[in-house]
Structure 1
Amino acid sequence: MLAAWTEEPATSGRRSPCAGDLRRCLDDQKAASLREGSPALKERLRDLQALKGAVLAYRDRFVDAVSADFGHRSRQETSYLDILPVVTTIGYLQRNLARWMRPESRRVAFHFRPGRARVAYQPLGVVGIISPWNYPIVLALTPLATALAAGNRVMLKPSEVTPRTSELLAAMLDEVFPAERVAVVTGDASVAATFANLPFDHLIFTGSTSVGRAVMRAASDNLVPVTLELGGKSPAIVERGTSLRRAAHGIAFGKLANAGQTCIAPDYVLVAQEEVEGFTAAFRREVERFYPQIATNPDYATIVNDRHHARLRGLLDDARAKGGLVQEIGSRDDGRPPLHPRTFLPTLVTRPTDAMSLMQEEIFGPILPIVPYATLDEAIAFVNARARPLALYFFGSKGRAQAEVLARTISGNVTVNDTLLHYAQDDLPFGGVGASGMGAYHGHEGFKALSHARGIFVQPRLNASDVVRPPFRALFERVIAHLLR
């Protein structure tokens, strides 16, 4: 199984408190969970507040670490996309947790009354989290906060691709929580493979589809339930006749945030065939609006490492070789180099075909194929002919076209007339479907996913249950006849 995990080199030098004996670390947490039982509301709120305070205190250090790991990423982008969502999510959990923790009364059938039924949500125990490199703070700490809100203990394996950020996460969490509550495991792909094989009570993985398959296989050996957030090729459909400026504005934002290294970035855009040229021009204008002189603009992030940079170059070479028209945006006329060697300029690809690699795999970078369509039915069929995506975007009016797209496609989540923003809605579940993942860890659904919904029936002292128990008499026959009528 290890081959599936070797996407990146080992770069982390920190020795985790669990290093060399991950199973012992897990056993310690499970023993503490059994010994101390389900934490009360007050304790959970205290943990969440401590986590929020630590994130705010570490903000400047996180900004510097992420930028160093990427080569360059702006302070503003890290603050807005990686730190702010953690803080707002914790606030949302704090406001709703008391209500979520209350047992829910459930209906009792007439012939079982006056018995009472309820559902109590109790912690699962120990939740394992494997988080990715592209948003190394929010994609580690959002599931962590949700797991703590549900009363669980957590073992976190952050990505080795962003070693400075992972080390800082470990230092912060070691400072805030005892290892029996939250433990951070750093290391290379072999450590991640061992981690996925542990008998957690639940395992959350965010990353590529190929590694997601390996995670699910590993978890299945121990019957560990999984939440997988995997990505895929998320489409944007632009309705014929809609504002191309508005569509280009939203798509440029979603495609170029973090230089396209976003699991829910629009992967390709479907545009009416007679509007492709107009959309291309509008997209160029919006890129210049967001990032003037983008090659040296400090607001624009770099590609995380040389391997991913070379992979993106390979996608463009393949597209050119197979007849695609490749149009780079923002090249410098004076020949001076960009801000960083791994700065990858936004690139449009028209005339894409299914034979091209960039139409077969998730791009995960600032390359945008533009696919023309003749009819809306054709655009919907194009989406449905591919694996179900993590996100879908529609730009157009509130009318038949929007209703058709929403009714006839299946995706993780949808944003209409913008991109990415469904992720920021704390009260919406977030997750994939089919090849883009399973389960959700946001919102109330996230709390439920990381809790055991325990059904409880209470039989009062005075009840009529003996009527339907042996020895069976005439009254039994009358009762059963009534119930089966």
Structure 2
Amino acid sequence: MTKPAEVGVRTGDKVSSETHTMEELLEIQRAAFLRDGIPDAKTRIDRINRLQALLLDNADEICEALDADFGTRPRELSISADVAGCMIDLTHQRRSVTKWMKEKNVSKIQGALGFTQRLRHDPLGVVGIMGPWNFPLQLTIVPAGSAFAAGNRVLLRPSSITAKTTEVIAKHAPDYFSIEELAVITAKHGGGADFSKLKVDHMFFTGSPEVGASVAVEAGKNLVPVTLELGGKNPAIVDVDADIDDAAKFLADARMVNGGQVCLCPDYVFVPENKIGEFTDKVIERWTTNYPSIVGNKQYTSTINDKNYQRIVGLIDDAVDLGATKRQVIPAGEKLPNDTARKIPPTLLTGVKAGMKIEEDEVFGPVLTVYPYRELDEAIDKINSAGHPLTLYWVGKDNDRMAKVADHTRSGSISGNDFAMHLISHGLPFGGVGRSGMGNYHGEFGFQTFSHARAVTNSTLPIKFAELMSAPFTDRDTKLVDRQMAMFRRFLRGSIRKNAKR
């Protein structure tokens, strides 16, 4: 039986999470979870409402902090991605949680005969959520909303790289939540490696495959289940009859979202060989139009820090040194790349080959690599040799060639003709596969990720299964198992015949 939580935010109870260690916060939340029991729908909805209010009430301060963390990040992007962008899934969680949490009768006919079977969706307990720096709120708050919908308590650890943004959330969180419900973990508590060692009931991580692997190792030592939302080099394929102008505009724009610092940005693109010159010209034309200035342009997102800035510049230089051709959009009178502003010009590379570092590394910056192809199999083989990406972009009609790509590749998702549209769908999951991640969330998928599907049975049948499965075994038991074997052999023969006629 679910019930309201006994503790919310009370007068005089606005305690900062920084007054406790991570381990103490975990024990505080676990004790509260056991004390209050499974929260009812009203409590869960109230927590999601307060999570939305935390962002909406402090949106201006959040945007200022994001701008300061990045160096330059447009307010419009921060609102649409890290504030308003969270509301889509949080609102769906709030509206649907009452339906999702209901106990389900999975077999009415057998129940009427005396064998009732029900399915519960119980909360796990305390969930740890580790977020990245590129969208420090979108990628922590949205999973936190799913965890609340499922009835859990949350330890939230935004990235230390976006320290000013984390500071804002940590400062205001006690106005909306008791630390028994939501506690914000900051650099003062320790590093991400320390957080990954906590014996939470589920660990949710978004970030690079390399760090994700270490999180999984630490969580595995405690048998803590993990969800890993990782990155990867996302390919795009331009179909042979696609409109090249539309394709170039779309991929040029998609590459530059958040300065290219998105796990879903297209990293490299395959273009029909006879159209590659036209495509590259139009990409450069689009970038030239969109970015008449860069260094002083507040709408051009800076690279997050010097480490990543130097890494991306190094990838470009390495490719060029080894024979790749570079085209960049550099407005007149500007010196780019610019170390001070940490701004790298939109860069298009052709002639990239094996042995160049950019062939292996996820760029996570304003660089697009273009490859020609004659046959679709060339693109498919190249994609499959690079590991499973988080998404795969298709530019063209929903046709047999798109179906062939879907059937012969693996990726977390497939996005046709637009950027990351599955993020705003209530009916689709977000997550990777293989090196790009494990597990998913958004919509009911998030609710299920942070729930335990718990089977409940009750039998009033005249025959006990326990009796049938234990000695002494009688002639009746022998005849029963022989009949079962004969029945299943007959079923199998019928299936083989039926399948042969397909």
Q: Provide the TM-score with structure 1 as the length reference.
A: 0.91
Q: Which residue of 1 aligns with 2:46?
A: 46
| Contact 1:429–1:440, Cα closer than 8 Å, also in 2 | yes
Equivalent-residue separation in structure 1 for 2:172 and 2:262 (angstroms): 25
Q: Which residue of 2 aligns with 1:456?
A: 456
Equivalent-residue separation in structure 2 for 1:16 and 1:267 (angstroms): 41
Worse-matched range after superposition: 98-107 or 377-386: 98-107
Q: Which residue of 2 aligns with 1:150?
A: 150
Q: Which residue of 1 aligns with 2:91?
A: 91
Distance 1:321 1:20, change over 3 A: farther
1:208 paired to 2:211: no
Equivalent-residue separation in structure 2 for 1:111 and 1:415 (angstroms): 43
1:170 Cα shift?
A: 1.2
Worse-matched range after superposition: 217-226 or 15-24: 15-24
Q: Which residue of 2 aligns with 1:406?
A: 406
Distance 1:135 1:40, change over 3 A: same
- SS of the residue 2:187 aligns to: coil
1:106 Cα shift?
A: 2.0
Q: Which residue of 2 aligns with 1:100?
A: 100
1:347 paired to 2:340: no
Q: Which residue of 2 aligns with 1:293?
A: 293
Q: Which residue of 2 aligns with 1:333?
A: 332
Question: What are the residue-to-residue correspondences of 1:29-428 with 2, within 5 Å?
Answer: 29-107=29-107, 113-187=113-187, 191-329=191-329, 331-335=330-334, 341-428=341-428
Worse-matched range after superposition: 110-119 or 301-310: 110-119
Worse-matched range after superposition: 335-344 or 257-266: 335-344
Equivalent-residue separation in structure 1 for 2:483 and 2:259 (angstroms): 67
| Contact 1:288–1:294, Cα closer than 8 Å, also in 2 | no
Amino acid at match of 1:255: R
Q: Which residue of 2 aligns with 1:433?
A: 433
Equivalent-residue separation in structure 2 for 1:170 and 1:420 (angstroms): 29
Equivalent-residue separation in structure 1 for 2:189 and 2:414 (angstroms): 33
1:474 Cα shift?
A: 6.3
| Contact 1:235–1:266, Cα closer than 8 Å, also in 2 | yes
Worse-matched range after superposition: 283-292 or 53-62: 283-292
1:291 Cα shift?
A: 3.4
| Contact 2:427–2:443, Cα closer than 8 Å, also in 1 | yes
Q: Which residue of 2 aligns with 1:7?
A: none
Q: Structure 2: give runs of 5+ residues left out of the alignment.
A: 1-14, 488-502
Equivalent-residue separation in structure 2 for 1:325 and 1:103 (angstroms): 60
CA RMSD of aligned residues (A): 2.4
- SS of the residue 2:256 aligns to: helix
1:420 Cα shift?
A: 2.1
| Contact 1:302–1:340, Cα closer than 8 Å, also in 2 | no
1:421 Cα shift?
A: 2.0
Distance 1:259 1:229, change over 3 A: same
Q: Which residue of 2 aligns with 1:3?
A: none
Equivalent-residue separation in structure 2 for 1:483 and 1:334 (angstroms): 83
Distance 1:242 1:235, change over 3 A: same
Equivalent-residue separation in structure 2 for 1:335 and 1:90 (angstroms): 42
Worse-matched range after superposition: 73-82 or 468-477: 468-477
Equivalent-residue separation in structure 1 for 2:444 and 2:189 (angstroms): 32
Q: Which residue of 2 aligns with 1:465?
A: 464
| Contact 2:202–2:450, Cα closer than 8 Å, also in 1 | yes
| Contact 2:346–2:367, Cα closer than 8 Å, also in 1 | yes
Equivalent-residue separation in structure 1 for 2:50 and 2:21 (angstroms): 27
Equivalent-residue separation in structure 1 for 2:272 and 2:242 (angstroms): 10
- CA deviation profile, 1:28-67 (whole Å, cap 9, x unmatched): 1111111111110110001111111221111111111100
Distance 1:95 1:111, change over 3 A: closer
Give the count of matched residue pairs: 469
- CA deviation profile, 1:105-141 (whole Å, cap 9, x unmatched): 2238969942110110000001101101000110110
Q: Which residue of 2 aligns with 1:25?
A: 25
- SS of the residue 1:39 aligns to: coil
Equivalent-residue separation in structure 2 for 1:187 and 1:142 (angstroms): 21
1:21 Cα shift?
A: 2.8
Amino acid at match of 1:181: E
Equivalent-residue separation in structure 2 for 1:112 and 1:398 (angstroms): 47
1:340 Cα shift?
A: 6.6
Amino acid at match of 1:395: V
Amino acid at match of 1:433: V
Q: Structure 1: give runs of 5+ residues left out of the alignment.
A: 1-14
- SS of the residue 2:204 aligns to: strand
- SS of the residue 1:313 aligns to: helix
| Contact 1:72–1:340, Cα closer than 8 Å, also in 2 | no
1:394 Cα shift?
A: 0.5
1:158 Cα shift?
A: 1.1
Distance 1:253 1:189, change over 3 A: farther
